[in-house]
Amino acid sequence: MQTQMTPTIEIRNLHANVGDKPILKGVNLTVYPGEIHALMGPNGSGKSTLSHVLMGHPNYTITRGEVFFKGQNLLEMSPDERARAGMFLAFQYPMVIPGVKVFQFLRNMLKARKGGDVSVKEFRQVLQEKMKLLNMREEFVKRYLNEGFSGGEKKRHEILQMALLQPDLAILDETDSGLDIDALKTVCEGINAVAASHSAMGILIITHYQRMLNYIEPQFIHILFEGQIVKSGGKELALELEAHGYEQIENEFRAALAV
């Protein structure tokens, strides 16, 4: 049945540089609607580069390969077109924007996604529904955007954005970064709640550690090493990494190159 579905995103032999330096060296990855994938790998392997390339960051140059989002050529779309089409990126380090209230930011964000006005009454109703889903207090949206927010609050705000936008593909770039265990659990519960309410959403979790996967269970895990996905599997692959680290993966990769 899956083969008859249009993939949410299909990445074929993707190569990308920063300046003259190659970072991605042939990434292949397909995510179908409703699937949760985790992309793991050591620092410097290209995980965050992949997220930025997919969203159209101007500092990265694609030198080879193709990417299709819901059947459309993603590489021909501008970053804002990608967002409006249903792609979402939760940043590792969300920006602080003093003077902009969270309520105002979220309303303008939703207007841009819908391509038209959203009345205050309509927005407040949707916002309250999503905040209830995520167990968030109304006082949260009266604050300035990420100003004085803890690491956990910044990440919960991004999950609230995801809940409002209901993207077709959510890319979570090291969402666990800087979170203590309690904040991580709260954020992951929020991600699970949004995923349950929007079952067609594909999710790509980019993470360095296995701990986030204790709370969000992906169907597929991929290991990115030196700009390539060198191994894929199920939940057992994350447990293998937890036990043995990335050294075993690196040895297997080097041995394959030597053949």
**Cα–Cα distance measured from residue 83 to residue 55, given in angstroms and rounded to the nearest whole number:** 8
How many independent structural domains does the chain possess?
1
Supply the mean pLDDT for the chain: 92
Taking residues 228-237, report their average pLDDT.
Answer: 93
Q: Are 163 and 196 in contact (CB under 8 A)?
A: no
pLDDT of residue 16: 98
Question: Residue 1's pLDDT band (boundaries 50, 70, 90)?
Answer: very low
pLDDT tens, position by position, 150-165: 999 999 999 999 999 9
Torsion of CA 136, 142, 146, 147, to 10 degrees: -130
pLDDT tens, position by position, 182-227: 999 999 999 999 999 999 999 999 998 888 999 999 999 999 999 9
Strands 9-18 and 169-173: unpaired
Q: What is the 3-state secondary structure (H, E, C) of 166-221?
A: CCCEEEEECCCCCCCHHHHHHHHHHHHHHHHHCCCCEEEEEECCCHHHHCCCCCEE
Structure tokens at 92: 């590792």
Domain that holds residue 22: 2-258
Question: Residue 116's pLDDT band (boundaries 50, 70, 90)?
Answer: confident
pLDDT tens, position by position, 136-148: 999 999 999 999 9
pLDDT of residue 143: 96
Residue 77: pLDDT over 50: yes
CATH code of the domain in which 133 resides? 3.40.50.300
**Cα–Cα distance measured from residue 71 to residue 113, given in angstroms and rounded to the nearest whole number:** 19
